[in-house]
Amino acid sequence: MVDTKKTEEVQVIIPANEIDKVSDEKWEPKIIAFLCNWCSYAGADLAGVSRIQYPPNVRVVRVPCSGRINPLFILKSLQVGWDAVLVSGCHPGDCHYISGNYYARRKFSVLDDLLEFIGIDKGRINFSWVSAAEGEAFAKVIRKITKKTRQLGPNTIFKEDQ
Amino acid sequence: MEKIGAVLTIGGGIAGIQSALDLAESGFKVYLIEKTTGIGGVMAQLDKTFPTNDCSMCILSPKLVEAGRHQNIELLINAKILKVEGRAGNFKVKILKKALFINSEKCTGCGVCAEKCPVNSIDFYNEKLSRGKATFVKYPQSVPLVFSINQDNCIGCGVCEGVCKANAVEYSQKDEEVELNVGAVILAPGFDEFDPAPLKVYGYGKYRNVVSSIEFERILSASGPYSGMVLRPSDGDIPEKVAFLQCIGSRDIHHSKPYCSSVCCMYTAKEAVIAKEHQKQVNPTIFSMDIRAYGKDFDKYIIRAQDEYGIRYIRSRISLIEENPKTNNLILKYEAEDGSLITEEYNMVVLSVGLNPPDDAIELSKTFGFELNEFNFCKTSTFEPSKTSKPGIFVCGAFAAPKDIPESVIQASASAAHANILLHSARNSLVTKKEYPTEIDVAGKPPRIGIFVCHCGINIGGVVDVPGVVDYAETLENVEYAERNLYTCSADTQIKIVETIKEHNLNRVIVASCTPRTHEPLFQETIREAGLNPYLFEMSNIRDQCSWVHMHEPVAATEKSKDLVRMAVSKANKIEPLQRTILDMNHNVLVIGGGISGLTASVGFAEQGFMTYLVEKTAELGGFAKNIHASIEGSNVKEFLSNLIEKANNNENLKIFLEAEIDTIEGYVGNFKTKLKSKGNKENKNNTFEHGIIIVATGGEEYKPTEYLYSKDPRVVTQIDFEKMLFESEINKKVNKIVMIQCIGSRNDKNPYCSRVCCAEAIKNSIKLKDLHPEKEIIVLYRDIRTYGLKEQYYREARSKGVIFIRFDEKLPPELIKEEENLIIHVDSPNIGKLDLDLDLLVLSVGIHPPYESNEILAPMLKIPLNDDKFFLEAHVKLRPVDFATEGIFVCGLAHSPRSIDESIMQANAAVSRASTYLSKDEIETEGIVATVDISKCSGCGLCIETCAYNAITMDEEKMVVIINSALCKGCGACSSSCRGSAIDLLGFTNEEIYLVINEVK
Amino acid sequence: MEEIRKSLNVIVKSLISEKKVEYVLGFEEGTLPLKPVPLYIEKEEDIDRLIWNEYCNLNLVKFLLEEPHGKKIGIILKNCEIRSLIVLINEKQINREDIVIIGVPCSYGIIDINKVSKLLDGKEFTEFKKNGNDYTFKGVGFKKIIKLQDILSDSCAYCKDKNPVEYDYLVETPNEFKKIKDEDFDEYFDVIEFEKKTPKERWAYFKKELEKCTLCMACRNACPLCYCKLCFIDSNQPQWFDKTDDLSEKMLFHMTRAIHLAGRCTGCEACTRACPEGIDIHLLYKKLRKMTKDRWKVDKIELGEPSVLGSYKIDDPQEFMVKED
Amino acid sequence: MVKKRKKKKEKQENQNNQKNQDNPKDQQYSIEKIIPKDKFDSLIKGLYKDFKLIVPKEAENEIEFDYLDPENEKYQFPEYQNLRVSPKKFLFPQKEVLYSFEKEGTGIKIKEKEEKIDDQIIFGIRSCDARSYKILDTFFSSGKYSDPYYFSKRNKTLLIGLACNDPMSTCFCTSVGGAPFSSEGLDAILYDLGDNYIFKIISEKGIIFEKYVKEYPDVNKVDLKKKEELATSARGKIQFEINLDNIEKDLDSLFESDIWTKVARRCLSCGACSYVCPTCHCFDVQDKSDKSGGKRVRIWDNCQSSIFTLEASGHNPRNSGKERTRQRIYHKFNYYLKNYKILGCVGCGRCIKVCPTNRDLRESLKIVVETAEKA
């Protein structure tokens, strides 16, 4: 155990680059992100190492490969009340498992099209390719989908009128 | 003399890393010495890699981590060689470890010291394009992730010591000397970029918008100075017109760089393409002499660069660059191919600098006592391309000659093979197998979860309310214990974790700290030492994903941390111990193909004492090389080949089947079973044997030309026929005018690839002719002369001996006209114009193509892929050039792609080394994270089989359910997510576990 | 229709008498009008009960799944059903050589009995007469004439794939194929129309339809391509569904089932006709078929082709990915 | 269609049990009023003051039972034979929350659901559906316990029937002890004579209706004669009859018989039949919960689903459609007789109508009886 006072006193001073601030009173979306271990998760790490700031709305679930993601995971996430879902994997060609992301891409486009078709906010499901070297790109994606989800408001998917 | 089971690898670039990993996996202790403070070399600086545009860091970082944590590899960073004694099998090497001024044992790589360092100095990783600190780590993903102080920049203010919670800063630290005892040395010091500053004409260093290609590489990189934006240094504008100048410090006698640097043509094309992708306003122009796209799929890349990306190629060498002082634009003067003088203005100029020998080359050769060649690269020979002049000291990568990443990786493994062969008797003598307590059986026991939350100095604690997180964690399901540590990863905490597990008899452990990608193995190791199965571990990343990225939102960051911990807990409640399956490894090898590659590989295995079965479909060994008399370097191929065949015949570990073909192959890595069928030789029929490894060396064939009256007119021959005349018979007195035409059956629509060897072949023969009959006239009609690397010198020699080279455009190929009995070649050259050449002998430089039939039979049999050109397709173009996605099968020689004899030998040895990483083990252990199938749910639709990239899934035709071979499964989960009947699940990431995590929304 | 039945008789007779198959699967009249039932023709005398008409509304392929491999069976099919059989052959559920396919070109398409009862406000009809495209329904206290196109299964109305692509025997028919919609209609006309609606309207539609769902699984069980040993909705580890009849549960079920049919559904619409609540879900599946055609150029399912979700092209469209800007 | 049996003896029997079917012994209240159709609405309004009314209502493309709302303009029975869906769900909903629970510290707190149930009348229910409540009553009160969730509603519910002038083609109530005009299980019944209704009080509970109808005239002979005629003609319209007197014994002998393969052959194992069946009452109990708490719900289950009897071990005693189909028939026509001495089927014919593959329960019963007779 450590002497807590000591650690809490310390102030971290870092030049604040443009950050989407979270004001406490208004509602904030909760977003679940499935990241592949080899590229996107590494990209998120790089964002961290490079101290790139992005909104704190995302909860990351690490999976070996975007090919691991069953569309059911995404639907279930929406059903249990996550306000949005992000699935991110290696760029086409970079898949650590050779072709996982190609199969994933087909599954995702089916899901994406269907949700659109039945009239669900597409904004709630997001797919992206982020490489291990793209810390900034990862942050951008998070900023983007957080903004989008804020506009969409709380997830009432499969429930009331869209 | 006693042989030492350890190897010293010098240089932490991709070549050094690859050879180190190979040897460490083959049962040798490896000392990997790096002169800077982190491994990764130049590849870590690259943005993308040609010809696939793979993200360099994406493919490299797993190797970095693996090398960094391999228990047989010891990294010595910031070190240099002092003294070497002894000989092959037993060297004593004295090393100087320069002080880092930060204790790497204690340093956790948290980086606060660097943040706080007031010094604004130069960042070398970003090629001086951005500023760095005195306390620094080479680059964010650096391995090992330890900081050090650059004394030259340090002002000794003492801030870093103040902020370092781990008390790792030690200004007093001194350099220390260590002595190593190794059996072999592998040289992989890499190269230095040519410094264009001295070349006044380009104004590098004078004009800010003239940058070197490696600087441009950083500019392109997402982690570079402009985070991926293409901007020009002078004013940060997007440069619309960018000129790439090739052969800066290559093919240039005046600056004593007569050789070709091999890689510039491709990396320039790549940089142009990526620049275009990053900023579509950018219009690149490339100035080059020849376009040397000689490698596998390189030409396709160049064609795409031109057609899809509109990249403009101009064949010329820039004579002068001047700057427009107002705009900082650059004015280029050059002579177009038609001779006209042109002046153009560009916004930015990139100098494609060549590869130099490393500046410590001479020093190295002195300390180790091996020879350098005239360019100060390491001296090697055609038939032993990875051996130095000194026994026991091997070389790989750009230090042997300029080469690209795959060739470096190939040679890295090749040099490792030599070490394997030299030291096989001492294998496993110095590697320590770790002893663990027997695993505690947690079956059926309710989860007792322990959570360790890390302050990471102030990295987490400074933002996230760590005590709050701990209190929260204690309230969660089945959490028996929670505590916080200053550094959970520090050595003392590991001991604490082990004690805590025992004291509270925990059976699941969670660490909330940084990223599992670097630290999971460490903690898994720790809980294993406490008797827990390493998979009973979960991690939540509250540093890289909370404190570091939400620095100004402590409340939100804390909330997020709690959520992440809660998610980890709910998964931890379900996780089960996973077992790594153990498979027996059969130590025999099957080599398919008895050419130079096949033979070299077979001998390589046999000499290590592995039983090797060599299967050759023809009646004699030697393959295509039988027709070749000498290499371009002048080495005697015939003699070498007969020695090699003799070696093969005399080795009792080597069983040769001539006139034999594969009938069936079944099984998987370590457990193959092969049945032969006769191809003439009856006794091979139904000959069956078991083996653990397969080497594919099916070679290539000479293209049989249909063009230019070949086989219709005796005066039209191929290079091989011509070589026969030159070396075996006499050139007919009447034959005085000889014309050669290049690229017959290569670089056309049917065979779009370059056959790589024909240029050298033509030049070799023309030099030979000129040596025999200086009076005879010889003209070579070519599209590009591709004498890459050190072969360039023979191109020059040929020219100096009076061989005439005339370029033609692929759209206007030379025409052969037959007037009465005279042959006349009509050629329209871009630089000389229309010519009619009468001739006595026409020599066609015919290309190489794969043995289409046998490859197409073999590929499905082995379940390995072919590329569009029907050459075998390796697992990864860049970093696994001899492996296949299917484990235990390797490729070498022409089966992979057209290549010269020395390159084939290199690749054959590489295959030996890659295979040795398996053969050196009695059993192979597979990952615990693998897919499993519940056959009661499987309806045998076979979708999973389609999606498995590793052929790990097969159909049980009896029961109509699938079987997963965990030996081949890599645990990606593509099968599981495809299975509609949820019959397949992925251990470690089961549906149930993910479901629970998903349910943790709040 | 009568000619078809005659030529069917001949083929079936020979198959039975020559013992080429253990039985031939066809239809006979059921106990209710417009409700024909599967007929297992084992003996020649059974053949007289064989019927063939536009209200043979089940996909008989479903019944092949119960039979063991190696058992020779004859079956009378329309093309959409043949295509679903092809899927099952591709997915190794059925051996091609076990099945003798008697292909019948589909003339009208199939009547959707749910549409009939809707048009009759759920009243019972005890008899019906057919006159060209007019169908007259009689019941207690009413008599109503309905046009064929108003009770035809939706996919049939726009179907352009009516001739068997795989068969052992082909019944030659005078091509009775009636144009139900105008000359140059797009096969996916109704999907395209629906896509023009606003998301709100689309959602409102599916919400209204699926709220009727009782999760009775008739759709799943009528579909020949739903052959999982344990359906995801029945799985309890993890229990993706709590089986309460919340709308979200119904959505989750129908969406997931749709994804499972991506690149497989052949549009026989047995599911829609089987629904006891008369839910019209066919658009969802037709959208799937349009999608595989538009996205991956896989129009119709062919024998021996790789499955859509088990294959890929490097340049598959990915416009839906999050764009950097 | 299936022919009626012409055997004289049976005819006799039918006549007999016809009698006691139409006028069950237990009824001795002689309140029988004539209500002109134009007065019908005021009767409704009257009842509405004190009861919630569940009546057949026009819905989208069909007629279904639903609550009548007061502002509703004049109510008249719509034209209907019987409804596709029985009113079972009003006493036994497809989804019913039993109670909810919240996490409290380390334990949980159970919250009983409090729902206020008003007195209600299911109005216009057919004889068969009325009889189905008798079966449900027996089931939910069988053994040691009576089901509070069912009876909390049942005890507040009265049944006013509407005798069935036009049975459907699939009706076979007379074969299972019912009849189109049967008043069994009802508290009161209406007979539709064209211009008038006869309103007749049947049960003791039904007496409560007296005050709503007392101003109306008593029935006369003519009306009663007309009613008898209608009853006979209604019975005449039933197209299928089978003697099920020995069905329990018949089935006892046939459990292992191979007829079940034939009977089940076309079954898709969907649950459609049991979802529309007025007497099917199997249910499943599910907990829907998250970290904070949750609720326990009871939902309809159905014995045709393959996982109905799936055991944790993976073993499934009713693995194939054959066993499941057999179970459904045994439950209604054998086990019920054994356990409660009544048949579990009221012959409403809904399962026949709804079955996607037209598996006809009447056919199955015929096969059973004939096979048993042969044996």
Residue B229: the pLDDT is 86
State the nearest Cα–Cα gap between B948 and chain C, in angstroms.
9
Mean pLDDT (whole number) for D313-335: 92
From the candidates A23, A53, A125, A131, which should be mutated to test the interface with B, based on the most B CB atoms within 10 A?
A131
Distance of CA C41 to the CA centre of its chain: 22
Residue C174: the pLDDT is 59
Mean pLDDT (whole number) for B512-537: 91
Distance of CA B350 to the CA centre of its chain: 25
Beta bridge pairs of residue B449: B479, B508
Q: Which segment of A21-30, B110-119, B349-358 scores lowest on mean pLDDT?
A: A21-30
Cβ-based contacts of C214 with chain D (< 8 Å): 94, 271, 275, 300
Mean pLDDT (whole number) for B896-902: 95
Mean pLDDT (whole number) for B454-472: 92
Residue spans of alpha helices (H) in chain C: 2-17, 61-64, 79-90, 113-119, 148-151, 154-158, 189-196, 199-211, 218-222, 247-260, 270-274, 282-296
Structure tokens at B496: 């604490």
Residue B309: the pLDDT is 92
Residue B145: the pLDDT is 81
Task: Answer yes or no: do B139 and B249 share one domain.
Answer: no
Of the partner residues A75, A106, A162, the one whose CB lies closest to the CB of residue C199? A162
pLDDT single digits (tens) D150-197: 999 999 999 999 999 999 999 999 999 999 999 999 999 999 999 999
- Percent with pLDDT over 70 in chain D: 90
C-beta atoms of A109 and C318 within 8 A: yes
Q: Provide the CATH topology of domain A29-151.
A: Rossmann fold (3.40.50)
Residue B60: the pLDDT is 86
Residue D66 touches chain C, beta carbons under 8 Å: no
Tell me whether residue D1 is in a domain: no
With residues binned 3-state (H G I as helix, E B as strand, rest as coil), the percentages for chain C, rounded to 5, are: 35, 15, 50
**Phi/psi of residue B378, each to 5°?**
-70, 135
Q: Which of B652, B502, B588 is nearest to B918 (CA)?
A: B588
State the nearest Cα–Cα gap between B554 and chain D, in angstroms.
25
Kindly state the DSSP code that residue B591 receives in the 8-state scheme: E
Cβ-based contacts of D314 with chain B (< 8 Å): 936
Measured CA to CA, the distance from residue D327 to residue D341 in angstroms comes to 18
Residue A160: the pLDDT is 55
Enumerate residue ranges in chain C where pLDDT < 70: 174-184, 245, 324-325
**Phi/psi of residue D103, each to 5°?**
-75, 130
Q: Which of C19, C18, C37 is nearest to C27 (CA)?
A: C37
Of the partner residues B936, B999, B1002, the one whose CB lies closest to the CB of residue D314? B936
Distance of CA A135 to the CA centre of its chain: 13
Of the partner residues B548, B971, B973, the one whose CB lies closest to the CB of residue A48? B548
Banded model confidence at residue B319, pLDDT cuts 50, 70, 90: confident
Report domain extents, chain A.
29-151
From the candidates C67, C86, C92, which should be mutated to test the interface with B, based on the most B CB atoms within 10 A?
C92
pLDDT single digits (tens) D42-88: 899 899 999 999 999 988 888 999 999 866 667 889 989 999 999 99
Measured CA to CA, the distance from residue B984 to residue B1000 in angstroms comes to 24
Task: Answer yes or no: do B821 and B854 share one domain.
Answer: no
Q: Is the pLDDT of residue B771 over 90?
A: yes
Q: Is the pLDDT of residue A106 over 90?
A: yes
Residue D3: the pLDDT is 44
How many beta-carbon pairs under 8 angstroms link B with D? 4
Mean pLDDT (whole number) for B522-533: 92
Q: Which of D115, D163, D129 is nearest to D276 (CA)?
A: D129
Residue B1002 touches chain D, beta carbons under 8 Å: yes
Q: Which of residues 131-150 of A touch C (CB under 8 A)?
A: 137, 140-141, 144-145
Secondary structure of B453-493 in HEC code, one letter for each residue: EECCCCCCCCCCCHHHHHHHHHCCCCEEEEEEECCCCCHHH
Residue C69 touches chain B, beta carbons under 8 Å: yes
C-beta atoms of A22 and B553 within 8 A: yes
DSSP string, B689-726: EEESEEEE----EE----STTTTTSTTEEEHHHHHHHH
Angle separating helix axes B516-529 and B491-503, nearest 10 degrees = 50
pLDDT single digits (tens) B844-882: 999 999 999 999 999 988 988 888 899 999 988 889 999
CB B509 within 8 A of CB B450: yes
State the nearest Cα–Cα gap between B499 and chain A, in angstroms.
14
**Beta strands B841-846 and B737-744, pairing class:** parallel
Residue C324: the pLDDT is 66
Residue B475 touches chain A, beta carbons under 8 Å: no
Measured CA to CA, the distance from residue B989 to residue D179 in angstroms comes to 61
pLDDT single digits (tens) D155-165: 999 999 999 99
Kindly state the helix (H) or strand (E) to which residue B395 belongs, with its residue range: strand B393-395
C-beta atoms of B999 and D290 within 8 A: yes
Q: Is the pLDDT of residue B223 over 80?
A: no
C-beta atoms of D314 and B1002 within 8 A: no
Q: Is the pLDDT of residue B11 over 90?
A: yes
C-beta atoms of D84 and C122 within 8 A: yes
Mean pLDDT (whole number) for A64-79: 95
Count of domains forming chain B: 7
Task: Answer yes or no: do B532 and B473 share one domain.
Answer: yes
From the candidates B137, B270, B977, which should be mutated to test the interface with A, based on the most A CB atoms within 10 A?
B977
Kindly state the DSSP code that residue B535 receives in the 8-state scheme: T
Measured CA to CA, the distance from residue B693 to residue B916 in angstroms comes to 9
Mean pLDDT (whole number) for A59-81: 95
From the candidates B165, B483, B544, which should be mutated to test the interface with A, based on the most A CB atoms within 10 A?
B544
Cβ-based contacts of C320 with chain A (< 8 Å): 108-109, 112-113, 122, 127
Mean pLDDT (whole number) for A40-60: 92
pLDDT single digits (tens) B332-355: 999 888 888 899 999 999 999 999
pLDDT single digits (tens) B939-951: 999 999 999 999 8
Residue C123 touches chain D, beta carbons under 8 Å: yes
CB B455 within 8 A of CB B484: yes
Task: Answer yes or no: do B531 and B496 share one domain.
Answer: yes
**End-to-end alpha carbon distance in chain A:** 50
Q: Is the pLDDT of residue A9 over 70?
A: no
Other chains touching B, judged by 3 or more CB pairs under 8 Å:
A, C, D
Cis amide linkage into residue B144, ω under 30° from 0: yes
Mean pLDDT over the full length of chain A: 83
Half-sphere exposure for C34 (CA within 13 Å, toward CB)? 25
Q: Which of residues 921-940 of B touch D (CB under 8 A)?
A: 936
Cβ-based contacts of C235 with chain B (< 8 Å): 982
**End-to-end alpha carbon distance in chain D:** 26
Count of domains forming chain D: 1
Measured CA to CA, the distance from residue C152 to residue B925 in angstroms comes to 61
C-beta atoms of D291 and B1002 within 8 A: yes
Banded model confidence at residue D8, pLDDT cuts 50, 70, 90: very low
Tell me whether residue B951 is in a domain: yes
Vertex B942: Cα angle to B936 and B943 (nearest 5): 110
Residue B365: the pLDDT is 95
Q: Is the pLDDT of residue B136 over 90?
A: no
Measured CA to CA, the distance from residue C286 to residue C202 in angstroms comes to 15
From the candidates D291, D292, D307, D310, which should be mutated to test the interface with B, based on the most B CB atoms within 10 A?
D291
Residue A20: the pLDDT is 41
Which residue is closest to A74 within chain B, CA to CA?
B998
Task: Answer yes or no: do B677 and B667 share one domain.
Answer: yes
CB A37 within 8 A of CB A90: no
Tell me whether residue B118 is in a domain: yes
Other chains touching D, judged by 3 or more CB pairs under 8 Å:
B, C
Banded model confidence at residue D28, pLDDT cuts 50, 70, 90: low
Mean pLDDT over the full length of chain B: 92
**Phi/psi of residue B277, each to 5°?**
-65, -45
Q: What is the torsional sign of CA D61, D62, D67, D68?
A: positive
Banded model confidence at residue B432, pLDDT cuts 50, 70, 90: confident
Banded model confidence at residue D23, pLDDT cuts 50, 70, 90: low
CB A83 within 8 A of CB C295: no
Q: Is B911 helix (H, G, I), strand (E, B) or coil?
A: helix
Residue B313: the pLDDT is 95
Chain D positions contacting chain B at CB under 8 Å are: 290-291, 314
Task: Answer yes or no: do B32 and B5 share one domain.
Answer: yes
pLDDT single digits (tens) B553-604: 999 999 999 999 999 999 999 999 999 888 899 999 999 999 999 999 999 9
User: What is the extent of the structural domain holding D334?
Assistant: 8-374
Residue D17: the pLDDT is 45
State the nearest Cα–Cα gap between D18 and chain C, in angstroms.
24
| The overall pTM is greater than 0.80 | yes
Of the partner residues B937, B943, B991, the one whose CB lies closest to the CB of residue C309? B943
Q: Is the pLDDT of residue A3 over 80?
A: no
Q: Which segment of B184-198, B482-496, D285-299 scores lowest on mean pLDDT?
A: D285-299
Report domain extents, chain C.
2-112+152-296, 113-151
Rounded to a whole number of angstroms, the CA Rg of chain B reads 31
Residue B982 touches chain D, beta carbons under 8 Å: no
Task: Answer yes or no: do B877 and B919 share one domain.
Answer: yes
Banded model confidence at residue B68, pLDDT cuts 50, 70, 90: confident
Banded model confidence at residue D265, pLDDT cuts 50, 70, 90: confident
Other chains touching A, judged by 3 or more CB pairs under 8 Å:
B, C
Buried-state track B558-582, b at ≥16 Cβ within 10 A, e below 16: bbbbbbbbbbbbbbbbbbebbeebe
Secondary structure of B482-527 in HEC code, one letter for each residue: EEEECCCCCHHHHHHHHHHHHHCCCCEEEEEECCHHHHHHHHHHHH
Banded model confidence at residue B128, pLDDT cuts 50, 70, 90: low
C-beta atoms of B58 and A38 within 8 A: yes
Q: Which of B973, B966, B971 is nearest to B670 (CA)?
A: B966
Which residue is closest to A158 within chain C, CA to CA?
C248
Q: Is the pLDDT of residue D9 over 60?
A: no
Tell me whether residue B598 is in a domain: yes
C-beta atoms of A119 and C204 within 8 A: yes
**Phi/psi of residue D53, each to 5°?**
-110, 125
CATH number of the domain enclosing B262: 3.50.50.60
Measured CA to CA, the distance from residue B848 to residue B901 in angstroms comes to 13
Tell me whether residue B198 is in a domain: no
Structure tokens at D224: 């009663």
Measured CA to CA, the distance from residue B59 to residue B995 in angstroms comes to 30
pLDDT single digits (tens) B674-699: 999 987 777 777 789 999 999 999 99
Distance of CA D76 to the CA centre of its chain: 23
State the nearest Cα–Cα gap between B103 and chain C, in angstroms.
41
Residue A2: the pLDDT is 41
Measured CA to CA, the distance from residue A57 to residue B818 in angstroms comes to 79
- Percent with pLDDT over 70 in chain B: 99
Banded model confidence at residue D367, pLDDT cuts 50, 70, 90: very high
Kindly state the helix (H) or strand (E) to which residue B411 belongs, with its residue range: helix B405-423
State the nearest Cα–Cα gap between B570 and chain D, in angstroms.
11
User: What is the extent of the structural domain holding B134?
Assistant: 100-173
Residue B66: the pLDDT is 86
Q: What is the torsional sign of CA D252, D254, D256, D259?
A: negative
**End-to-end alpha carbon distance in chain C:** 61
Of the partner residues C255, C308, C309, the one whose CB lies closest to the CB of residue A114? C255
Measured CA to CA, the distance from residue D257 to residue D248 in angstroms comes to 15
Residue D72: the pLDDT is 62
Task: Answer yes or no: do B89 and B2 share one domain.
Answer: yes
Residue D131: the pLDDT is 95
pLDDT single digits (tens) B710-739: 999 999 999 999 999 999 888 888 899 999
Of the partner residues D169, D300, D357, the one whose CB lies closest to the CB of residue C126? D169
Residue B642 touches chain A, beta carbons under 8 Å: no
C-beta atoms of C92 and B991 within 8 A: no
